[in-house]
Amino acid sequence: MKVSRRWLEAFLRRPLDTRDVVERLVMLGAPVDAVTPLHAELGDVVIGLVEEVRPHPNADRLRLCVVDAGGPTSRQVVCGASNVEVGRKYPFAPVGASLPGGIKLERRKIRGESSEGMLCSMRELGLGDEHEGIMTLDTEAAPGSSFLAALGLEDDRFELDVSPMRPDLLGHKGVARELAAAYQTTFRLPEIPGAKIVYPVVPPATGSTGAVGGVTVTIEPGAACARFTGAVIRGVKIGRSPDWLRQRLEAVGQRSLSNVVDATNYVMLELGQPLHAYDVARIAGPALIVRRSAPGERLVTLDNVERGLPEGTTVVADAAGISGIGGVMGGLASEVSEATTDIFLEAAWWHPGPLRQARKALGILTEASQRFERGTDLWGLPDALRRCIDIVLATAGGVLDQELLDLWPEPANPPRIFVRTARVAQVLGVELPVAELERCLLAVGATVVSKPGEGRLAVDAPGWRPDLREEIDLIEEIGRIHGYQSFPDELRPFRAGNQTDAPSEVAATAVRRHLVAEGLYEAILLAVGPEDSPARQVRVLNPISSEHGFLRGSLLPGLIRQTESNWANQVRDIRLFEIGTVFRPGGMDGRPEESTHIGAVISGARSPAHWSDGGATPDCDHWDLKGLFERTVSLANPLASMQVDEGGWIARMPDGRQVGRAAPLRADAPPWAAPLFGLEVEIDPAPRETPRYQRLPAVPAATRDLALLLREGVAVADVEALVRDTAGELLETVRVVDEYRGKGLPEGRRSVALRLVLRGRDRTLRDAEVDEAIKRVLATLGKALDVTVRTA
């Protein structure tokens, strides 16, 4: 919402300091996003009085003017305009002044005569399109005084960030009310220059059909219109609006169109009530019917677009067809034009919900619909209509049909709300005197009746505050007007909550810290992305783009994309992980199934290059990946076990469900890139078992290295398992320490060295016991897997 400081000053009858206004509005809950000083570029322009006009000696079309611009001496100006007269005042830009468009005036000679400034046209000042002549001023201001001040153009435009809950702030009156509360002062409507106050008769509102000035109006059942007021003014003269009206509108960025249209816009910007003006001559009937649209009905709206209306849209129609979408936009056919003499003014109340649905379906957002869908003042319609009538009569003339129309099929009073003083104290945490509660509520425009005996106040909410419906709404207003800055901020005693940390978060945190310790960087990527695995991903119905049309079912595709963009940045060493949610179709109550995964990718050097490597730091390989996978699985999903699977590894739960995988990854890699490896593991949210201390060994261990020959096809994992099984409880660890293939071995065999550590429970093992165990192991290995001992 754009707000003019001068307009607010007209309400409050006092000058306002821009900085202070911004501060006050912020502290009342209406932050100001921006302040624009208006016409600041005209600050150098002054009032110039033309004292003398002579012909230019060397040019027929130019004249020499002597201008009093306030200095000790008058200045000579060469001027091409023909409308300059002696004794009149004009805007004068002296040498050194800047004008809109970045023009800077310099002293110069025009056909031999010096010119010390410029008399300006409206267009040169950026005030309009008029450029035929110099802008003639009708002002008492002294020569040399500020042009902006003399014309009342000096102003600041505030850009207010208005909450959707506060439609009253979409009009200057609402903002003025807030400031009046802040300054603890009063406010009233600005005067309309030249207005003769008329007192039209407003008959008691009733019924759903009636007539005014020969126009009959009907609200049909089912139409989303609660109240409809109207007036007819005959004999208006459509034309240019007076300066005060133009200036107010332009100050808030609203283009001036014509006096009647400007009058309706003015009232909307002042009171927050949009109005619509119809040309009576172009209303067929003349009758207006507020009804729901029938299937297939169409309308050309004011913006000259033909629109098909969704069935059931509330419209205003005449005998010939639809003439406007109620509360959204009028139709071109009944628009006021230069030829218009009789107008019908409409001020109505449209139901926010249906109106919002209609305008969304139509894809239109207008100043009017913006206000109606937030809720306008149902009880303020006659006042808004009268205000508009005053302005039309003052600016376009004409005669008002004395009786207004007010259709209100089901009249109602503003809601009455009871506020308990004890509840106010309970919620706000401080006990405020009843007088302060009353002051705060009166400031927002409520009617208050204190009932001290009952410990409560009876409050009638103002019509312009549809957000005030129950006690808590009023408590909020009390806190707001009393001022949040006035509340204490000392910590009071509290009880701890009943909740404990979510186990899934605890598990994720442990895995996250581990991956960092492994030297990987955490990334947070978008869970909405392209389709990676057709039919297994959840589709977004209204994606921001086709690149974000699906929920991820796995973390690796996103990590691979990030790897590729790192490669595009010439980064070769990549170590990224992410802990995030993945989605699968078909969970509870229609929602997708969600689980938390850890995904990681590694590529490039195993460690930072060091000179001692001679520039040949090895790249990460399968074994780096496998190690990382093993450690990650044991933390993320301790019950899972690993197995080899198609060039990589997978992790399975005891019930066979796969919960993780690790493998070399295919990606769009530049030739210099190292191989890419990735892993992904589901994080089990179940609480982890706490490790238990076991007595540390008190006796030395015996170590034996076995050089074994394995046939092709025999897996070390099987050998290891068998060693564990047969060595018995003496075996502490078994580890692969070497592998050799090639010369000196029997055909089809490789050599694998295992290091076994054996230890007795309470005593040092004798050599013979160890030898016995090793013999048993070798015998079993030979029998079961055809493993033999390598002899040198």
Q: Which parts of 141-200 interact with another protein (CB under 8 A)? A: 163-166
Least Å distance between CB 19 and another protein?
10
Task: Tell me the closest approach of the beta carbon of residue 29 to another protein, in angstroms.
Answer: 3
Beta strands in 185-235 (DSSP E): 209-212, 215-219, 225-234
Looking at the Cβ atoms of 591 and 711, the one nearer to another protein is 591
Which of 56, 480, 704, 755 binds another protein (CB under 8 A)? It is 480
Helix (H) / strand (E) element for 680: namely strand 676-682
Nearer to another protein, 326 or 479 (CB): 479
Instruction: Find, among 354, 317, 336, the residue nearest to 217 by Cα.
Output: 317
Options 215-223, 559-567, 652-660, 744-752: segment touching another protein (CB under 8 A): 559-567
User: Residue for token digits 């957000």?
Assistant: 467
Closest distance to another protein from the beta carbon of 157 (Å): 15
According to the binding rule CB under 8 A, does residue 363 interact with another protein?
Answer: no
**Cβ proximity to another protein, 100 vs 580, nearer residue:** 580
CB half-sphere exposure, 722, CA atoms < 13 A = 20
> Nearer to another protein by C-beta: 73 or 569?
569
Contacts (CB under 8 A) with another protein, residues 18-57: 26-29, 31, 33-34
Residue 272 interacts with another protein (CB under 8 A)? no
Stretch that binds another protein, among 109-117, 253-261, 441-449, 587-595 (CB under 8 A): 587-595
Give the chain's radius of gyration (CA, Å).
42
Binding-site size for another protein (CB under 8 A) equals 106
Q: Is 281 in the site for another protein (CB under 8 A)?
A: no
Give, as ranges, the residues between 628 and 647 that touch another protein (CB under 8 A): none
Binding mask 422-451 for another protein (x = CB under 8 A): ----xxxxx---------------------
Closest CA to 443 of 80, 207, 184, 196: 184
In the complex with another protein, the residue whose CB is nearer, 594 or 732, is: 594
**Contact between residue 632 and residue 626 where contact means Cβ atoms under 8 Å apart:** no
Q: How far apart are CA 141 and CA 127, in angstroms?
A: 19
160-to-40, 147, 440, 679 alpha-carbon distances in Å: 20, 28, 22, 50
CA atoms within 13 A on the CB side of 192: 21
CA 485-487-491 angle, to 5 degrees, is 120
- Token readout for 245 is 């009206």
Verify binding: residue 698, another protein, rule CB under 8 A: no
Q: Considering the rule CB under 8 A, would residue 548 count as an interface residue with another protein?
A: yes
Nearer to another protein, 609 or 721 (CB): 609
> For residue 713, what are the contacts with CB-CB under 8 A and spacing of at least 6?
none
Q: Which of residues 609-628 bind another protein (CB under 8 A)?
A: 610-612
Work out which of 15, 72, 608, 656 binds another protein, going by CB under 8 A: 608
Q: Contacts with another protein in 486-525 (CB under 8 A)?
A: 487-492, 494-502, 504-506, 512-513, 515-525
**The total number of residues written for the chain in this structure:** 792
Q: How far is Cα 448 from Cα 452, in angstroms, rounded to an integer?
A: 12
For another protein, the closer CB: 393 or 579: 579
Question: Shortest Cβ distance from residue 18 to another protein (Å)?
Answer: 12
Expressed in angstroms, the distance from the first to the final Cα of the chain is 91
Q: Which of 9, 573, 630, 769 binds another protein (CB under 8 A)?
A: 573
- Indicate the Cα dihedral angle 657, 660, 661, 666, nearest 10°: 120
Q: How far is the CB of 467 from another protein (least distance, A)?
A: 8
Helices marked H in 545-606:
556-568
Give the distance between the most distant pair of CA atoms in the chain: 132
Cα–Cα dist 529/228, whole Å: 49
- 578 lies in the site for another protein, by CB under 8 A: yes
Question: Does residue number 540 form part of the binding site for another protein (CB under 8 A)?
Answer: yes
Smallest distance, another protein to C-beta of residue 592, A: 5
CA-to-CA dists, residue 358 to 166, 204, 223, 294, 353, angstroms: 21, 31, 12, 14, 9
Q: Which two tokens stand for residue 434?
A: 């009843």
Could you say which of 543, 664, 675, 760 contacts another protein (CB under 8 A)? 543
Considering the rule CB under 8 A, would residue 218 count as an interface residue with another protein? Answer: no
Q: Give the shortest CB-546-to-another protein separation in angstroms.
A: 12
Distance CA 399, CA 613 (A): 99
Q: Where are the alpha helices (DSSP H) in 243-376?
A: 243-251, 259-271, 352-362, 367-374
User: Residue from 184, 413, 546, 565 that binds another protein (CB under 8 A)?
Assistant: 565
Closest separation in Å from C-beta 177 to another protein? 15
Alpha-carbon distance of 704 to 735, in angstroms, equals: 11
Which residue stretch of 40-48, 315-323, 474-482, 627-635 sits at the interface with another protein (rule: CB under 8 A)?
A: 474-482
Contacts to another protein from residues 752-781, by CB under 8 A: none
669: contact with another protein by CB under 8 A: no
Q: Is 473 in the site for another protein (CB under 8 A)?
A: yes
Of 404 and 475, nearer to another protein (C-beta) is: 475
To the nearest whole angstrom, how small is the minimum distance from the Cβ of residue 196 to another protein? Answer: 39
Q: Please state, in angstroms and rounded to a whole number, the distance separating the CA atoms of residues 788 and 778.
A: 7
Among 344, 215, 347, smallest CA distance to 288 is for 215
**Shortest distance (Å) from residue 307 CB to another protein:** 20
Residue nearer to another protein on the CB measure, 150 or 417? 417
**Among candidates 411, 416, 412, 413, which has minimal Cα distance to 460?**
416
Pick the binder of another protein from 180, 448, 528, 667 (CB under 8 A). Answer: 528
Applying CB under 8 A, among 184, 304, 545, 690 the residue interacting with another protein is: 545
- Contact flag: residue 583 with another protein (CB under 8 A): yes
**Angular region, 327: left φ>0, alpha ψ -120 to 50, beta rest:** left
Query: Is 89 or 514 the residue whose CB approaches another protein more closely?
Result: 514
For strands 574-584 and 521-522, give the pairing.
Answer: parallel
Q: 29 vs 171, which CB is nearer to another protein?
A: 29
Output 490 or 729, the one with its CB closest to another protein. Answer: 490
For residue 599, the SS3 value is strand
Q: Which two tokens stand for residue 713?
A: 């096809």
- Smallest distance, another protein to C-beta of residue 359, A: 11
Nearer to another protein, 539 or 657 (CB): 539
Q: What is the DSSP letter of 410?
A: S
Give the 3-state secondary structure of residue 588: helix
Helix (H) or strand (E) holding 343: strand 343-350
Are 45 and 147 in contact, with CB atoms under 8 Å apart? yes
The residue from 58, 484, 618, 748 that contacts another protein (CB under 8 A) is 484
Residue with tokens 């009032």: 47
CA 425 to CA 432: how far, in whole Å? 7
Nearer to another protein, 34 or 644 (CB): 34
- Our CB check for another protein shows the closer of 490 and 762 to be 490
Shortest spacing between CB 776 and another protein, in angstroms: 40
What x/- string results for residues 370 through 389 when contact with another protein is judged by CB under 8 A?
A: x--xx---------------
Decide whether 475 or 787 has the Cβ nearer to another protein.
Answer: 475
Among 222, 353, 397, 700, binds another protein (CB under 8 A): 353
Say if residue 580 is exposed, middle or buried (CB neighbours under 10 Å; 0-12, 13-18, 19+): middle
